[in-house]
Chain A
Amino acid sequence: MAAFIIRRILQAFMVMVIIGFIGFAIKQSLGDPVRELTGISVSAEERDALRDKLGLNDPFVVQFGRFLYNAAHGDLGRSFFYKKPAMEVILAKAPATLELVFCSAVLIVFLSVPLGIYCAIRPKRLFAKLVMGGSTVGVSIPVFLTAIMLIYIFSIELHWLPSFGRGETVNIHGWHTGLLTLDGLKHLIMPTVALSSIMLPLFIRLIRSEMMEVLENDYIKYAWAKGLPPMRVWIVHAFRNTLLPVITVGGVQLGVMIAFTILTETVFSWQGMGFMFIEAVERADSSLMVAYLVVVGFIFVVVNTVVDIIYGLVNPTVRITGRK
């Protein structure tokens, strides 16, 4: 077991270095941050002097070496636009994104589990067919379109919900949360729904198909034969075994959700990491962009590693075969 865990952690570390390299390679072709920092009529020499000052004229190897050296010391560079360390900017924006992802995850868990189970045990009912049909549609509508439709209906036509931003937030030890004010919660509703819209159908279908597969097993047939009450068979015997693959996928999808926040946040001007990333790309704020990739990569890697290790604890066979 220990060997398995060490192997996974080493793999995770390698992945981090590769992410850093790729992010840094992208940075080189992203464009020129100095253009964004100077008025258009500033002379070429002035601009070049500024590039020198920022170390942007050094060869790639030198810049990457400097980046690795600093990253090893926990410094991911400075954001040109925010005029602050990139890490500080990301951490200031993280609460917004994490709250959004958390609310969406909660919504997904609470909706997909009952719906998925229902569709598995009563696949022929009209409601189940509606859910499955709806989920097909849900998967195929892009997030930003869902977001724009929501804004159109609930903000522009009905004036029920605010169309952008986080609203009023409360500062708790530097964590600005929108979960504690009515205004903040109102602002959360539409982005949460939009972000969930992609994942929810996926989880409903996943739970349904896994559950149906489990229900075919001999031990379930045996449970029925024993005359156990249906609820006990479904929830305790069948759903428990359904949950394992769902957790694995859930862990991976959590990372994907963080990536999907980019679209949702952009449409709602939600001041989180995804929106910050898009703006950093547009402004060629390259240090901030690389820092974001590293941080998000880190979250991905940690989540996946933890999922694998848990899986290894729960199901010893994977330690031997190695899933990847």
Chain B
Amino acid sequence: MKRLFLVFALAMALLLAGCGGDEKKAEEGAAPEKAAETAPEVSKVTLRLAMDADPVSLDPQVQLSGGMLQYSHMVFDPLVRWAKDGSIEPRLAYKWEQIDPKTMRFYLVQGVKFHSGNPFTAKDVAWTLERLKKSQDFKGLFEPFEKAVPVDDYTVDIVTKQPYGLLLSMATYIFPMDSVFYSGTDDQGQPKDAIVKTDHSFANVNESGTGPYVVESREQGVKTVFTRFADYWDKQSKGNVEQIVLTPISNDASRVAALLSGDVDFIMPVPPQDLERVQGNPDLQLVIMGGSRIITLQMNQKSQPAFADPKVRQAIVYAVNNQGIVDTIMKGFATAAGQQAPEGFAGYVPELTPRFDLEKAKQLMAESSYPDGFECTMIAPNNRYVNDEKIAEAFVSMVSKIGIKVSLKTMPKAQYWDEFDAQVADVQMIGWHPDTEDSANYTEFLLMCRNAETGYGQYNSGNYCNPKVDELILASQIETDLAKRSEMLQEVERILYEDAAFVPLHWQNLSWASKKGMSIEDIVNVQNFPYFGDLVIE
């Protein structure tokens, strides 16, 4: 019996040997992050929020991504922001006026405090813009901007290099940072305003904005807790959420399960396959909105001579039943597209509708220089866009009906973009959401002639190149008469449509779901920056 016990003890010791070694190491290891384990007080109005990702940093200028902008709207305030109807509404700037073609004057709200307690003035706006122009991710967007000049404490002039029609839209990206707080050096002797992507920086782990929420604790990738800022300047806001607990749940099924089981109150996005479940649940509400991320396929005219023939390109566009893809693969959770920009954008042309017509496609192929069809290659990501792989497979079978044999390869996004840039295939999938929330941006990146120096056509793997299109886009950039600008951009969309420059598929919808009794309908928008500061929970 004693020996039996010995053997058992050995077995247990083994179990611990697997763990024990690490246990010690964990204790010796560097101090772990501050625990974010305070249970929310019952009395507080708390929003338990699950998104597909959490902010990668606390520095609003370190990365330009949807997740970071959503974070910026919680902890910082922009000068102005998008309203639901697509207009621009005041935030830290309550009024603005164009004082000359290159200058816009912003009048700032007085008495605003940063989370550190420092007062917010025009100086902070100037400092923030200067830092944006240094940020790897934002410098491109702010290239047209010259500088911000404080006139007095509560007036600031923003000056552009050329007259710039999108000045006000871009002001939605200026989230003033606390220049006093972010100046000087941190305890590691590094400047506090450094923008660092892969290493420690003061701004990555500290924040001081003017926004409705203060970051109380953060465990990256696990949980971030936000508390309502006591001195928040916007007393008009009806928002009553005192605490937000943000948990990233990247797995679609787990995120939906967390909402259905009542473990979280609000999720974004809702995967298409679960929309019906959420909709059919009487305790939940679902908000869906047409988005502006277009999913397209580019046909490489350099690597595949067939695509240089406009008839072939048109045949392909006619052969693709993108409404069918929306109905079956996307479960109706997208809008079939015939052009790049969705309704509401400056370049939108109502009559450019999707054109599925198999007969016409066959006829166009017969008229082209490839009446017997041809073979080509294609790549698509399999974890970047909603159902991307299935969409690519559908495309392959659709064009097979007009004699085009496509060999498709899909891969995870981590590998996809290098392959995309190298243009390894004749047909390549790309989705695009314009950072400027404007029509021109699509064409600048996806369809202008490739130019390594200016960066235009950076993602134009179709190598479509039309001087007329370039000319119109460049002219639109310095056109401040918005009606005229709109006409130019609509002209571009018409040319692209005629030329079948690319294969338009659909715009992905946006979706949010929450428990009943929350005013989520009022705080979400087409930019997908929910204004949580204004959220009311009954």
Asked if B418 is at the interface of the complex by the 8 Å CB criterion, the answer is: yes
Report if A302-B17 is in contact (Cβ < 8 Å); known contacts: A83-B204, A168-B37, A283-B414. Answer: yes
Which residues of B sit under 8 angstroms from A84, Cβ to Cβ? 200
Asked if A188 is at the interface of the complex by the 8 Å CB criterion, the answer is no
A92 in contact with B414 given A84-B200, A243-B7 (CB within 8 Å): no
Q: Compute how far the CA of A243 lies from the CA of B141 in the bound complex, rounded to whole angstroms.
A: 67
A302 touches B21 (CB 8 A): yes
**Contact at A54–B26, with CB atoms within 8 Å?**
no
How many residues of B sit at the interface, in one of the four size bands?
35 or more
| A165 CA / B254 CA spacing, docked (Å) | 10
Contact B199–A39 (Cβ < 8 Å): no
A41:B435 contact, CB within 8 angstroms: yes
| Count of chain A to chain B residue pairs whose CB atoms are closer than 8 Å in the complex | 216
**B1 / chain A contacts, CB cutoff of 8 Å:** 236
How far, in whole Å, are A281 and B413 apart by their CA atoms in the complex? 10
Q: Is the CB of A269 within 8 A of B251?
A: yes
Q: List 17 additional A-B contacts (Cβ < 8 Å) besides A38-B137, A78-B198, A176-B35.
A: A31-B416, A31-B418, A32-B417, A35-B418, A41-B140, A41-B445, A80-B198, A82-B220, A91-B25, A98-B23, A101-B18, A151-B257, A165-B222, A175-B23, A271-B222, A276-B221, A279-B221
Q: Are B418 and A32 in contact (CB under 8 A)?
A: yes
Residue A21 at the chain B interface, CB threshold 8 Å: no
Contact B414 A284 (CB under 8 A): yes
Contact A164 B10 (CB under 8 A): no
Known A87-B29, A254-B14; judge A50-B197 contact (CB<8 A).
yes
Q: In whole angstroms, how far apart are the Cα atoms of A55 and B142 in the complex?
A: 28
Instruction: Kindly state whether residue A293 has any CB partner on chain B within 8 Å.
Output: no
Q: Which of A129-137, A152-160, A209-217 contacts B (4 or more CB under 8 A)?
A: A152-160
Q: Is there an interface contact between A282 and B383, defined as CB atoms closer than 8 Å? A: yes
B12 to A, closest residue via Cβ: A109
Q: Which chain B residues lie closer than 8 Å to A310 at the CB level?
A: 10, 14
Does B65 reach chain A (CB closer than 8 Å)? yes
B414–A102 contact, CB under 8 A?
Answer: no
Q: Please tell me if A7 contacts chain B, counting CB pairs below 8 Å.
A: no
A266 touches B22 (CB 8 A): no
Closest Cβ of chain A to B425, distance in Å, is: 17
Taking the closest CB of chain A, its distance from the CB of B205, in whole angstroms, is: 9
Question: B247 contacts which chain A residues (CB < 8 A)?
Answer: 164-165, 269
B29 close to A174 (CB less than 8 A): yes
Contact A163 B221 (CB under 8 A): no
Q: Is A116 an interface residue (CB 8 A)?
A: no
User: Residue on A with the closest CB to B264?
Assistant: A164
- Contacting residues, chain A, for B415 (C-beta < 8 A): 29-32, 284
Is B22 touching A83 in the complex (CB atoms < 8 A)? no
Q: Give the docked Cα–Cα distance between A88 and B251 (Å).
A: 25
Name the contact of A176 in the complex, choosing from B19, B23, B37, B250 (C-beta under 8 A): B37
- A202 CB → nearest B CB, Å: 16
B257 x A303 contact (CB < 8 A) = no
Asked if B19 contacts A101 (CB within 8 A), the reply is yes
Are A43 and B17 within 8 A (Cβ)?
A: no
In Å, the complex CA distance between A92 and B64 comes to 28
Most A CB within 10 A of own CB, among B57, B258, B262, B414: B414
The answer to whether B257 touches A155, judged by C-beta atoms less than 8 angstroms apart, is yes
- B-chain residues with CB within 8 Å of residue A193 when the two chains form the complex: none
Given contact pairs A32-B414, A83-B199, A159-B262, A240 touches B4 in the complex (Cβ within 8 A): yes
Q: Which residue of B lies closest to A92 (CB)?
A: B32
B18 touches A254 (CB 8 A): yes
* Nearest A residue to B249, CB-CB: A269
A46-B136 contact given A39-B63, A41-B64, CB 8 Å threshold:
yes
Q: A250 near B: Cβ within 8 Å? A: yes
Shortest beta-carbon distance from B207 to chain A in Å? 15
Q: Which residues A39-84 have CB closer than 8 A to chain B?
A: 39-44, 46, 50, 54, 78, 80-84
Given contacts A37-B63, A38-B136, A282-B383, contact A91 B261 (CB under 8 A): no
Q: A42-B137, A173-B27, A247-B7 are in contact. Are A102 and B260 (CB under 8 A)?
A: no
B324 at interface, CB cutoff 8 A:
no
What are 20 A-B interface contacts by the 8 Å CB criterion? Answer: A29-B415, A31-B413, A31-B415, A31-B416, A35-B414, A37-B197, A41-B140, A81-B220, A83-B57, A83-B201, A83-B204, A98-B19, A165-B222, A236-B1, A243-B8, A250-B14, A282-B413, A283-B414, A284-B414, A303-B17
Are A159 and B458 neighbours in the complex by a CB distance under 8 Å?
A: no
B39: A residues at CB distance < 8 A: 168, 183
Q: How far is the CA of A267 from the CA of B33 in the complex (A)?
A: 24
Any chain B CB within 8 A of the CB of A107?
A: no
Q: Is residue A179 contacting chain B, with contact meaning CB distance below 8 A?
A: no
CB distance A30 to B7 under 8 Å?
A: no
Chain A: CB-nearest residue to B220: A82
User: A-B pairs with the 3 shortest C-beta distances?
Assistant: A31-B414, A39-B64, A155-B261
Chain B residues near A37: list those with CB within 8 A. 63, 197-198
Which residues from chain B contact A173 at a C-beta distance below 8 Å? Answer: 27
Closest residue of B by beta carbon distance from A271:
B222
Bound Cα distance A148, B256 (Å): 12
How far does the alpha carbon of A38 sit from the alpha carbon of B25 in the complex, in Å? Answer: 33
Contacts of B251 in A (CB 8 A): 266-267, 269
**A189 interfacial contact with B, CB 8 Å:** no
Q: How far is the CA of A98 from the CA of B459 in the complex (A)?
A: 44
| A87–B263 alpha-carbon span in the complex (Å) | 31
- Is B424 an interface residue, CB under 8 A from the partner? no
